[in-house]
Amino acid sequence: MQGVVENITVFLESAGLCKLMKLGIINGEKLILTGASVAPLMAFMEQKGVSGLEFGEDWSLESGGVFVNRYGGHDEPVKLTSVSSMGEVFRGANRRINPFYCKKPGGLNPSGRPELPGSAARAFRATDLERAGEMNDMINSLPLNRKERYWTSCVFPNIVCGGRFSRLHIFLKMAGVPDKFIKTEYSNSEICFYTEYSLKESALDWREVWHIKRDTPDIVILLRAACGEKFLVVVEAKMYDYVTASDLAAQMRRQMPVINTIMERNAMPPENFAHVGLILSPTAEFEAGLLAELTGAPRGEGSAPDYEEGLRPAGCNPSRVRLIGWKDILDAYRELEGDYFYEMLKVACANPQLAVTLEAYLKRKPAGGRR
């Protein structure tokens, strides 16, 4: 290997467990490296200017897509493109190269250090919140609502929509909606705006919904241009839940049958949709991991696919995916400062201690990821 080469154990430890979880590099209850870890790990290597990772002569991964894994039977350099599963990169190696590997939540790694930093979410302060201002006394009397549905079904529409949807165009531009579908106002004949939308439970007379599951995007917006052409915006939002790139990608993939069915029913061009992930504080690393997951990084060995056969390609177009932060909403709608729901969102974004901790997340997450 040429260029900067680092020991993988040192490289992972220096990044920290929380970051690796958010990037989708470390996955599951056992905190393992899986096949789904390969793409985000290589993206992280590139970002850090590292051309290769190694663990003595027994394991290595090059930025050019070549690996050695003697623990898994690959004694000679192998190209990633020549193996049937990316899980081969880490097969049998986690116990040796992964400093965070443990068998049980709260367990110890070989060095004896506890793996799960932090404490339960309920131990964190929920009163006298940052930036509460004049709302502080009322929020102390009735603590801030941490349920995700409140933020997507109540706060988001009150900030983004306005009378006759006069403020919606700001969010639509952030989501990458083409100009032909963007207006300063929408009549009732030009828009459908739903939250917590279950197509399967709503389109009772559509035969097409019989084969899809009950996946429920947080927000669904259907727009109609003057020419009659339609455009679909689907948003999957997270406020205080702990989220990793791999989990968000899996959830967005599971929404593709809903998107496909709506578009096919309305004879819409395949490019006429935007799929948005809305999270508290997105980073460049998280976005890279999300796009890597959505554009076809194979899953680890033993894991079931999150999508139905034939539906994955429609969800793999990076140009249709946008990652937006709740703080971006605040920045885009500064004109609403002083408005109740805007100020409520400002308080929410200023108090990250209210978010679910990594420990609580791992305790409820099954090994291999949510299904």
Looking at residues 84-111, what average pLDDT do you find? 75
pLDDT at position 123: 40
Nearest Cα to Cα of residue 175 among 325, 285, 321: 321
What are 11-63's pLDDT values in tens digits?
A: 998 888 888 988 889 987 678 999 989 999 999 999 999 999 999 989 999 99
Looking at residues 107-125, what average pLDDT do you find? 43
| Model confidence at 297: pLDDT above 70 | no
pLDDT at position 1: 52
pLDDT at position 210: 87
For residue 34, count other CB atoms closer than 10 A to its CB. 29
- Torsion (CA) 25, 29, 32, 35 in degrees, nearest 10: -70
Is the distance from CB of 29 to CB of 367 less than 8 angstroms? Answer: yes
pLDDT mean across residues, the chain: 85
What are 312-327's pLDDT values in tens digits?
A: 434 456 779 999 999 9
DSSP string computed for 298-309: PPPTTPPPSS-T
Nearest Cα to Cα of residue 246 among 187, 306, 326: 306
What are 143-200's pLDDT values in tens digits?
A: 999 999 999 999 999 999 988 999 999 999 999 999 999 999 999 999 999 999 999 9
Q: What are phi and psi of 238, to 5 degrees?
A: -135, 135
Looking at residues 276-288, what average pLDDT do you find? 91
Distance CA 35, CA 301 (A): 7
Q: How confident is the model at residue 335 (pLDDT cuts 50, 70, 90)?
A: very high
DSSP state of 143: P
Nearest Cα to Cα of residue 348 among 168, 156, 173: 156
Check residues 125 and 187 and name the one with the higher pLDDT. 187
Query: What CA–CA distances, in Å, run from 72 to 47, 69, 88?
Result: 27, 5, 7
Distance CA 205, CA 196 (A): 20
pLDDT at position 311: 38
Max mean pLDDT range (97-101, 199-203, 338-342, 354-358): 338-342
What are 236-257's pLDDT values in tens digits?
A: 999 988 888 888 998 999 999 9
| Model confidence at 305: pLDDT above 70 | no
Check residues 302 and 257 and name the one with the higher pLDDT. 257
**pLDDT above 90 covers what percent of the chain?**
58
Nearest Cα to Cα of residue 287 among 44, 53, 27, 36: 44
DSSP-assigned beta bridge partners for residue 232: 222, 273
Looking at residues 350-355, what average pLDDT do you find? 84
| Model confidence at 103: pLDDT above 80 | no
Check residues 370 and 173 and name the one with the higher pLDDT. 173
Nearest Cα to Cα of residue 251 among 275, 223, 226, 224: 275
Is the distance from CB of 351 to CB of 127 less than 8 angstroms? Answer: no
Distance CA 67, CA 80 (A): 7
pLDDT at position 119: 37
Q: How confident is the model at residue 300 (pLDDT cuts 50, 70, 90)?
A: very low
pLDDT at position 366: 52
